[in-house]
Amino acid sequence: MMTSEDRTADTNAPLTEDEAMALATEAVELAGGTRQVYRNPRHPFALNPTTNYELAGRKVELRHGEISSPAIVTVEGWVFEIHDEEIELLMRPVKRRT
């Protein structure tokens, strides 16, 4: 797997699904892996419910799972759900009609 240091991508160009998945996976690994994020919810009223990373010049937001909400990681409009063993695409970025 490539890390954010290996990438020299233009940060203004839209991300592909594979690039977004790689950044999401890297953020989850930095947080301790899928089981750590999925199985260890933060307190529901925590002042910092998310962890923000900047990887390869892109903003990545990681939200730990709770009883009523899934663990997710967001990369510039791409939303991935974190499961016990894997990360799955939940939503793609919205394409604006012109």
3-state helix, strand, coil in the chain (%, to 5): 25, 30, 45
Whether 96 is covered by a domain: the verdict is no
77-86: average pLDDT? 93
65-81: average pLDDT? 89
Whether 46 is covered by a domain: the verdict is yes
Whether 28 is covered by a domain: the verdict is yes
Domain encompassing residue 53: 14-91
Whether 19 is covered by a domain: the verdict is yes
Whether 6 is covered by a domain: the verdict is no
Q: What is the mean pLDDT of the chain?
A: 85
Encode pLDDT of 20-65 as tens digits: 999 999 999 999 999 888 887 776 677 777 899 999 999 999 998 8
Whether 75 is covered by a domain: the verdict is yes
Count of Cβ atoms closer than 10 Å to residue 8 Cβ: 7
The domain tally of the chain equals: 1
Whether 73 is covered by a domain: the verdict is yes
Could you tell me what percent of the chain has a pLDDT over 70?
87
Whether 26 is covered by a domain: the verdict is yes
Q: Name the token pair of 93.
A: 């970025």
Question: What predicted TM-score, i.e. pTM, was given to this entire model?
Answer: 0.81
